Amino acid sequence: MSVNTTPGSPGSSAPERRDLQRRVLRVLAAGQVLGGLGTGATLSLGALLITEVSGSSAWSGMAATTATLGAALLAVPLARLAQARGRRTSLSTGALIAVLGGVVVVSAAVLGSLGLLLAGILLMGSAQALNLQARFAATDLADADTRGRDLSLVVWATTVGAVTGPNLLEPGEAVGRALGLPPLSGGFVVSACAQGLGAVVLLLGLRPDPLLTATALAGAGPDSPGSSTAVGRHPGGLSVLRSNPTARRAVLTVAGSHAAMVALMSMTPVHLTGHGASLSLVGLTISLHVAGMYALSPVFGALSDRVCARGVVLTGQALYLAALLLALLGSQDATFVTISLILLGLGWSASIVAGSTLVGSAVAPVQRPRLQGVSDSLMGYAGAAGGALAGPVLARAGFDGLAAVLLVLVLVVALAQRDERAPGPEPRVQVEV
Overall pTM > 0.85: no
Residue 72: pLDDT above 80?
yes
Under the banding of pLDDT at 50, 70 and 90, the label for residue 322 is: very high
pLDDT at site 162 = 64
Distances (CA, A) of 31 to 37, 71, 303, 316, 346: 10, 17, 25, 26, 22
pLDDT at site 199 = 94
Over pLDDT 90: what percentage of the chain?
30
For 337-356, how does the pLDDT look when each residue is reduced to its tens digit (9 = 90+)? 999 999 999 999 999 999 99
| Mean pLDDT computed over 123-132 | 88
Q: How far apart are CA 110 and CA 125, in angstroms?
A: 21
For 403-417, how does the pLDDT look when each residue is reduced to its tens digit (9 = 90+)? 999 999 999 888 888
Domain boundaries 14-419, CATH class: mainly alpha
| Mean pLDDT computed over 121-148 | 87
Least confident segment among 123-132, 138-147, 217-226, 399-408:
217-226
Residue 398: pLDDT above 50?
yes
C-alpha 71: how far from its chain's center? 9
Higher pLDDT among residues 426 and 324, named by residue: 324
The 3-state secondary structure of 184-196 reads HHHHHHHHHHHHH
For 220-249, how does the pLDDT look when each residue is reduced to its tens digit (9 = 90+)? 433 344 444 344 445 566 777 888 888 889
pLDDT at site 8 = 44
**Which of 2-11, 37-46, 373-382 is the most confident on average?**
373-382
Least confident segment among 3-17, 37-51, 369-383:
3-17
| Mean pLDDT computed over 302-310 | 88
CB atoms within 10 A of CB 432: 6
- Output b/e per residue, 272-300; b: 16+ Cβ within 10 A: bbeeebebebbbbbbbbbbbbbbbbbbbb
Compute the Cα dihedral for 421, 422, 424, 430 and give only its sign: positive
- 210 neighbors 140 (Cβ within 8 angstroms): yes
**Which of 8-12, 37-41, 257-261, 294-298 is the most confident on average?**
257-261
Residue 5: pLDDT above 60?
no
Q: How far apart are CA 263 and CA 332, in angstroms?
A: 18
Q: Which of 115, 32, 132, 134 is nearest to 66 (CA)?
A: 115
Residue 92: pLDDT above 90?
yes
What residues contact residue 220 under an 8 Å CB cut-off, 6+ apart? 5, 226, 227
* Average predicted confidence (pLDDT) for the chain: 82
pLDDT at site 261 = 93
pLDDT at site 219 = 59
